[in-house]
Amino acid sequence: MTANSNPSQGQNAANFSMDDFAQALEQEQYDYHFNKGEIVKGKVFQHDPSGVYVDIGGKSPGFVPLSEAAWQSFGDVSEVLPLDQEFEFLIIKEQDSEGQVKLSRRQLYIDQAWDNLTEVQEKGKLVQMLVTGVNRGGVIGQIDGLRAFIPRSHLIEKENFEELVDQTLPANILQLDRGQNKIVLTQRNIAKSSAMAQLQEHQVVQGKVVKLQPYGVFVDFGGVAGLLHIKQISGGHIDSVSHIFKVGEEIKVVVMEIDTVKNRISLSTKVLETYPGEFLEKRELVMDTAEERWANHQTKKEESSN
């Protein structure tokens, strides 16, 4: 009888083939195809002078170069990727000829930071930027490892830049461009909101004239401006506001209305007059006694309503 005709040998050959087939299936199950841009989990099992090796379930371990181990600087890689700990990683280079993929914790963190900033921008929330440097145009800083910039014109503190280094500044996102890796912030809304919070309706406040228009005067109160309409300057006739006011001068006004919906502040000096045109004739006197005049005005108003 030949070998091929031996029943037991044929059965063993068949059994071997089935076992071999099962092992092949098992190997195929764990022979993952890792693609660039995917997130995988893996356990750190070896530190190397050039990086870290991670078991990600493939036929070869994943490798994390030291430059990709974390977004922040570190002294020892074990500080950020300790042995026997499991982490998520981003695949930044697909399998080479030996089946090894290149991984990154730094890029994963950066991608998540961009996602977070996008959500913050959509909701209009504040971010906190750590100032790391200054230049003529503004201040440079970091938000969760991402480089950001606040232009000088969008800062609350516009003069002593150097004093802002190492400080954390609250700001809103003005521009977010992931493709260009560009983040521009602003503190204008913060300054405006803070200044508006300091103002109250029906109070005498002092501000600076910052702009003259045919229809009135804009008065700044440390980051937010209100309109003193030409009809609210005086009960007397006014040919031009430029005949009465100069940009840069300080004046006292009454805050008549704060409209947060329309982002508008209405002012008046006419309500301080005891007769129409008094502000035009005796402006200095009206300014010096503004608080007293407004108090009297309020008292008379209350008496007339009772």
Instruction: Fill in the DSSP letter of residue 120.
Output: H
pLDDT of residue 177: 93
Whether 157 is in a domain gets the answer yes
User: Where in the sequence is the domain holding 269, given as residue range(s)?
Assistant: 199-305
Whether 175 is in a domain gets the answer yes
The CATH code of the domain that includes 85 is 2.40.50.140
pLDDT of residue 30: 45
In the chain, count of helices (H) and strands (E)?
7, 15
pLDDT of residue 113: 92
Query: Is there a single domain that holds both residue 295 and residue 214?
Result: yes
Query: Is there a single domain that holds both residue 203 and residue 291?
Result: yes
Whether 207 is in a domain gets the answer yes
Query: Is there a single domain that holds both residue 220 and residue 162?
Result: no
pLDDT of residue 18: 53
Whether 142 is in a domain gets the answer yes
Query: Is there a single domain that holds both residue 172 and residue 204?
Result: no
- Domain boundary residue among 75, 109, 143? 109
Q: If DSSP states are collapsed to H, E and C, what string results for 259-293?
A: ECCCCEEEEECHHHCCCCCHHHHCHHHHHHCHHHH
Query: Is there a single domain that holds both residue 269 and residue 235?
Result: yes
pLDDT of residue 5: 45
Query: Is there a single domain that holds both residue 216 and residue 254?
Result: yes
pLDDT of residue 35: 81
Distance of alpha carbon 5 from its chain centroid, rounded? Answer: 79
Whether 75 is in a domain gets the answer yes
Query: Is there a single domain that holds both residue 136 and residue 160?
Result: yes
Instruction: Fill in the DSSP letter of residue 138.
Output: E
Tens digit of each residue's pLDDT (9 = 90 or more) over 181-206: 999 999 887 877 777 777 889 999 99
pTM of the model: 0.52
Whether 275 is in a domain gets the answer yes
Query: Is there a single domain that holds both residue 47 and residue 70?
Result: yes
Whether 205 is in a domain gets the answer yes
pLDDT of residue 19: 54
Which residues of the chain fall short of a pLDDT of 50? 1-5, 7-15, 21-22, 24-31
- Domain boundary residue among 186, 218, 237? 186
Sequence-ordered strand ranges (E) for 49-163: 51-55, 62-65, 86-93, 102-104, 127-135, 138-143, 146-151
pLDDT of residue 14: 45
Query: Is there a single domain that holds both residue 105 and residue 130?
Result: no
Domain count, the chain: 3
Query: Is there a single domain that holds both residue 297 and residue 237?
Result: yes
Whether 14 is in a domain gets the answer no
